[in-house]
A and B are shown apart, each in its own frame.
Chain A
């Protein structure tokens, strides 16, 4: 393990971030940004700005050529970064360069990226870069044993997604296998298109809560202060992606950190409204 290794493991750092938010009587704010979008330096500055503006946890999206769960905004960001020639190694370097932040960062990507690298190597690289864990939306629990063994070895969190259409059996498995938090998807669909389906999502959060002490955060469909406040009224965490990515990518890169910070401040106010 390198000298940069964090003092505690991923799940514990994530739990601490949720605990801090809870102590302030608000939901935790989790911000997703695509790595190296629109470029490596701007991306780093945007993530730092998001943390400065109140993000409790950051998800760093490692682009994949075929992002099955993503809508047009994140798809386009992925493609932009791939076209610019950034490699997974560059994204890992970005993660490492953010190791000084006192919020946990997780990597969100597709299983193909982790699997091609080899789960053991990917876990080592993430842990050595100071990442707290992963979200792999196309790695459901029944396929995850091999990855989970490596994640446990390096004390990385693995956040699994739960859906309103998950059976009770599957929710049992998701609750049991997750570390860090459980990701309740706010709608049936891809990122950045529709709004949260409130009734179904509330019920999903309750069903997950009945199965685990882990925090339950809702993502996909949250885009602004009002929807963040709404979700914060029943979930432990609120995850916002596409609208932040849009703020990072549209317009002059020099202004991106300010645009991201302005949006994150709004969202942070939202999660405190409850």
Chain B
């Protein structure tokens, strides 16, 4: 954490196309070059077409439930010592911010004439959002999900299947998000003619990090207006959890050029920074290429990607989007971390103090605030925290990991044992 509370806004004018400073690029097999060029063109055309923005806005409003509220969490404020304003992405359709990106990219897939979409998913939220958009637009959809994540996010697997999507469990490597991305890339290389890879975070080869940021920017555009209207002025800090970095970049985007607003990304530290069982990429990683772009990655001296560890499937990723690597390198973004334990504490406090069951991902941001918020930001600092998703999907995992079984699971087991075989 830097000591200066007001990082200055870095210049970015001289960047190469597709780069954020030295991060980004298109490190992909030649077979994808055409698809990326097509996507770049489709995106440029869509941005210039008022009908695209009109359709996107209408869908996000009428179908997606936007704008999501900005809510002053008074009891959490009391507990943390800072004034907490929650940006309620958990209230968006499908239960997370992921829909913002998915609806936009599904419209792009339609513009490109691609009848099939594929996606990777960790927590299953991006998979559910993609399955939802596929149903809405009548697209074929396949979602790759690490076998370990299929286990710990079972509810979302069932939701995807109900929405008509094929879920493919991935058994290679660490059986989590990074391996699901590898498998989605392999599918894309094979079926690039008719398939759009609907990447779920602000990562991957150019133009994905930019497209995802622009589609998620709605979070900060709304929050900025809402904060001015409800609280007055601007917040001292904007805080979001960072997996691949989509909710965080969307939460930061409209503030990046605004001096005086600190941008704080909270990564998952798993069992702790330095334990070798963490997913705190920007804290512990080094510059490397992963999944199509140059960024910061958990790699060893040989360049082998190291397994990440987090209680949260959505943050359990050894890479991070390139724009975050750049924001970190310039000091404009500040990246901190919360352990599994701190996240579980954030989870429980958000439930008990605010009546909101958060996803384990944003629970990391709350956990960090509980432990460090007042000390780092100052007592009474005003902060916007992105509540990126709701926690229904995490209930089983929380029971298992934290041992907070209130007897319900055991009652089910008993009933199952007593029932007919």
Contacts and interface: CB of A to CB of B under 8 A. Distances in A.
Interface of A: 64-69, 71, 75, 79, 82, 87-88, 111-117, 137-140, 142-143, 160-163, 165-167, 170, 174, 185, 188-190, 193-194
Contacts, number: 114
B33 interface: yes
A50 B136 CA distance: 54
B52 interface: no
B33 A170 contact: yes
A129 B286 CA distance: 27
Dominant secondary structure of chain B at its interface with chain A: mixed
Contacts of A111: 27, 289
Contact of A117 (B290, B303, B305): B303
Contact of B30 (A117, A174, A189): A174
A68 to B, nearest CB: 5
Given A140-B33, A188-B190, A189-B190, A112 B299 contact: yes
Contact of A142 (B26, B299, B303): B26
6 contacts: A112-B297, A112-B303, A115-B289, A115-B303, A140-B28, A163-B29
B234 to A, nearest CB: 39
A162 B33 CA distance: 10
Which 7 pairs from chain A and chain B are nearest by CB?
A: A116-B303, A189-B190, A165-B34, A163-B31, A113-B303, A163-B30, A65-B304
Interface in B18-66: 25-31, 33-35, 37
Interface in B236-273: none
Nearest to A136: B27
Contact of A64 (B191, B286, B301, B304): B304
Contacts of A117: 302-303
A138 B27 contact: yes
A25 B112 CA distance: 46
A190 B186 contact: yes
B182 A68 contact: yes
A229 to B, nearest CB: 25
A143 B29 contact: no
A163 B36 CA distance: 14
A140 B190 contact: no
A185 B301 contact: no
Dominant secondary structure of chain A at its interface with chain B: loop
A167 B33 CA distance: 8
Given A79-B173, A115-B288, A160 B27 contact: no
Contacts of A185: 30-31
Contacts of B31: 163, 165, 185, 188-189
B172 interface: yes
B92 interface: no
B107 interface: no
Interface in B189-209: 189-193
B99 interface: no
A66 to B, nearest CB: 5
A114 to B, nearest CB: 8
Contact of A68 (B29, B191, B303, B304): B29
A166 B31 CA distance: 7
Q: Which of A116, A174, A194 has the largest number of chain B CB atoms within 10 A?
A: A116
Given A71-B186, A143-B27, 13 more contacts: A68-B291, A82-B304, A113-B302, A115-B294, A116-B299, A138-B29, A140-B26, A140-B33, A160-B30, A188-B191, A188-B192, A190-B186, A193-B190
B220 to A, nearest CB: 31
B312 to A, nearest CB: 21
A69 B27 contact: no
A46 B216 CA distance: 52
Contacts of B189: 68-69, 188-190
B281 to A, nearest CB: 14
Contact of A170 (B25, B30, B173, B301): B30
Given A138-B27, A140-B27, A190-B190, A165 B33 contact: yes
B185 interface: yes
A64 B299 CA distance: 11
